[in-house]
Amino acid sequence: MTLKKKLAVSTLAVSMAAASVAGFPFSSKGLAEHFGVSVASAASVSQADVKTKVEKIYALLTEDERQALLAYEQEAGNINLDTFKQIFDPVLKHLTFLDDTDVETAHEAFKSVSSVVYDVYDKDYTAIKDIRYNVKNVELAKKIAAKAGVDNLTAEDFTEFLFGDKGVEAELRALISSKSKADLINLIANASSTDDALNTLLNEAIDKVLNHNTVEGGLTVSQVVYNLNITPGDIKLSLKNLNDTVPTAKPAVKALALAYVRAYINDDGSNGGNNGGNGGGGGGGGTVTTPVTNPTATPGIYDVSKLVTIVGNKATLKLVDADVLKAFDALVAANPGKTGLTLTLDLGTVNAATVEVPLSKAIIEAAKAKGIANIAITFNGLTVTIPVGQFSEAITLTASTVADTTVTSVSSLKLASSVYDFELKVGDVATTTFKEPITLKLPLKNTEGLDRELLSVAKVVYGALQFQGGVVDGDHIVEPRDTFSSYAVLENKVSFKDIASVQAWAGRQISVVAAKGAIEGVGNGNFAPKSNVTRAEFAKMLIRALNLENNSAKHSFSDVSSTAWYAPYVAVAAEKGIITGRSAAQFDPSATITRAEMATMIARAVKAQKPEAATNASSLSKFSDAGKIAASLKDGVAFAASNNLVIGNAGKFNPNNTATRAEAAVIIYRTINFK
């Protein structure tokens, strides 16, 4: 079904289906399949159930009401092209890219859909199949989709827009939920051609669907309408034009509405039949309620808790593209001129072990176009922040809380969080590595009596733990990850038997940095605190300590093999300008590093993360041997000294002395605690 037909015909379809409290009260794929279309979402009622409902409604039409449907079919079928254009001018004026042939195709589609209203009474569904498979309709849909910037536009999209569990029909169900059967019959029977209560209900439903876009299956239609600047007012005016031009439209609407109420509304106003929808999550007889959200209420934080559905032990967030775009706009408007913005989708408390959050391609592309750097997903205290610029397809984040034994079976260390398993699909492909790290903010628990400085995020790899570090932030720990796996937080107590000689000034620092996985022992329980540090070793220590790992980073050094253990760390350090080679092609990984070189690397790393940090030019005057610092390293050492990242000893800095492993641990400890 073409959107041109859909938008133009929507004035009829919405009028006939929605204003009649959705002449077909079905939010399932069963009806769509019976009509010869397919819907990707899972069926909430069977095809047999839907067919029974269709027949039940039409069986309750009186002879006068049946004649009203027939009269509408005949009158609408005789509308000529010029009249069609006049009726739907409020919509057509936005579709100037359509040529005369396109409009003629839409006109014919309108007449075909109009005939369905009566044909269904005779249990004839062939017309809908004919509409769907008409080549001209398909081509027109593609043309409109392309202009609106969406991937595709199909009959299924509009079927869900009208009849889906978050479509016009569902909105009307929610609006009438407080009315009794008698009230509804009276409202419908006494409806006039002017602005009566029935029209008011319809207008409210249209506003909710088009303005709030509370349609899951109809997201494409909502997005197209939004992108083509078609307003709810345009749709309403077209509806009015239809009713004014085609006098039989209103009686036909009343006929279907009355039959629906007779079939499915109890005397107290509750749903008298099993609608098969999942709007309320309860039994078959509950009134369907449609979640309404306000994406602009708090710029930067979008409360989407009402859009979470739970089946079994899995929760799924069902976003509305157009609403997310509104949240983007509100965030940008509240932060003029700012970059690196993050929109947080707050799911609230979710009582399910697995949470799935799909982000459509439209959302990803809109975020990039509007300058939104990150989309954060938060629930149950857990936050996952995704840099969206690296993606060009739809993505789906899945976060699962798994058994503690995933970790406790391989380690006796004390667990300080739940155990989480993270997955990400790009398109339909599972992806475990990312060009830009995804930041995990894990909630801590059971930390009483634990040493908080020794808490570290651990990755479960082939039945063993790899400690990744992380920064403790109140009751959470924050860790950027360029790979996904299972993660947990543990108190990582690491001890070495050979650090007594440096215990006073470096013992604690060695323990903390080792706990974070940024520095390792040399084997047999030893740390070798006075051994020299190579350039490759310090690159790894620094990158690990500052959570800068990125497996996609590249380097051009001929003396750094791609298979070397230090290669990914050198690549990141070089890419971020933290470390330079001896030349453009030589890194010299095995060469030892001096204290001045180490301070300069630290300075570059901190400046990259905290550009507001300042340098006090006079800070070098505290060192009596400042004159020995190479000119190219003075700025780095001055920055490090200004911010107490390096202190010196007995008034000297000893810039050209080779740095020891203990000294490296101390300066890295200060760096990870730099505020």
- Of the listed ranges 203-207, 243-247, 481-485, the least confidently predicted one is 203-207
CB 167 within 8 A of CB 236: no
pLDDT at 60 (0 to 100): 79
Q: How many whole angstroms from its chain centre is CA 33? A: 30
Q: What is the pLDDT of residues 508-527, one digit of tens each?
A: 999 999 999 999 999 999 99
**Maximum alpha-carbon separation in the chain:** 106
CA separation (Å) from 350 to 300, 332, 346, 484? 21, 28, 10, 22
Angle, CA of 24, 29 and 31, to the nearest 5° = 40
CB 460 within 8 A of CB 410: yes
Q: How confident is the model at residue 195 (pLDDT cuts 50, 70, 90)?
A: very low
CA separation (Å) from 270 to 158, 171, 176, 288, 312? 27, 15, 9, 10, 26
pLDDT at 210 over 90: no
Q: How many whole angstroms from its chain centre is CA 420? A: 19
Report the pLDDT averaged over residues 415-435.
92
Q: What is the pLDDT of residues 77-132, one digit of tens each?
A: 888 999 989 988 888 888 888 899 988 988 888 887 777 666 655 555 555 556 65
Report the pLDDT averaged over residues 269-279.
43
Sequence letter at residue 259: A
Report the pLDDT averaged over residues 202-207.
64
pLDDT at 38 (0 to 100): 35
The angle, 0 to 180 degrees and rounded to 10, between the axes of the packed helices 135-148 and 219-227 is 60
- Of the listed ranges 38-52, 132-146, 440-454, 586-600, the least confidently predicted one is 38-52
Q: Name residues whose C-beta falls within 8 Å of residue 421's C-beta, 6 or more positions apart in sequence.
A: 399, 400, 402, 406, 485, 486, 487
Q: How confident is the model at residue 12 (pLDDT cuts 50, 70, 90)?
A: very low
Report the pLDDT averaged over residues 196-208.
61
Q: Classify strands 476-483 and 395-402 as parallel, antiparallel or unpaired.
A: unpaired
Q: How confident is the model at residue 40 (pLDDT cuts 50, 70, 90)?
A: very low
Q: What is the pLDDT of residues 217-253, one digit of tens each?
A: 444 666 677 777 887 778 778 888 888 898 888 888 7
Cα torsion 359, 361, 366, 371 to 10°: value is 70
CA separation (Å) from 645 to 490, 500, 670? 27, 23, 6
Q: What is the pLDDT of residues 139-171, one digit of tens each?
A: 887 888 788 777 776 656 665 666 556 566 566
pLDDT at 32 over 60: no
**Residue given tokens 């969206």 in the structure block:** 388
Burial class (CB in 10 A: 0-12, 13-18, 19+), 312: exposed
CB 251 within 8 A of CB 68: yes
Instruction: Tell me the C-alpha distance between 212 and 461, whole Å.
Output: 44
CA separation (Å) from 90 to 16, 101, 242, 515, 673? 19, 19, 12, 66, 61
CA separation (Å) from 152 to 104, 447, 482? 21, 51, 32
pLDDT at 249 (0 to 100): 83
Angle, CA of 164, 170 and 171, to the nearest 5° = 125
The backbone region for 643, taken as left when phi is positive above 0, alpha when psi lies in -120 to 50, beta otherwise, is alpha
CB 611 within 8 A of CB 604: no
pLDDT at 31 (0 to 100): 32
How many helices and strands in the chain, by DSSP H and E?
Answer: 25, 17
**Residue given tokens 């080679």 in the structure block:** 581
Lookup: tokens for 515: 């706990």
pLDDT at 418 (0 to 100): 96
The DSSP-derived string for 111-172 is: HHHHHHHHHGGGT--HHHHHHHH-HHHHHHHHHHHHHHT-S---HHHHHHHHHSTTSHHHHH
**pTM (2 d.p.):** 0.58
Comparing C-alpha atoms, which of 345, 338, 385, 341 is closest to residue 367? 341
pLDDT at 347 over 60: yes
Q: Which residues of 505-531 are buried (b: 16+ CB within 10 A; e: fewer)?
A: ebbebbbbbbbbbbbebeeeeebebeb
pLDDT at 33 (0 to 100): 35
pLDDT at 287 (0 to 100): 37
Instruction: Tell me the C-alpha distance between 372 and 341, whole Å.
Output: 5
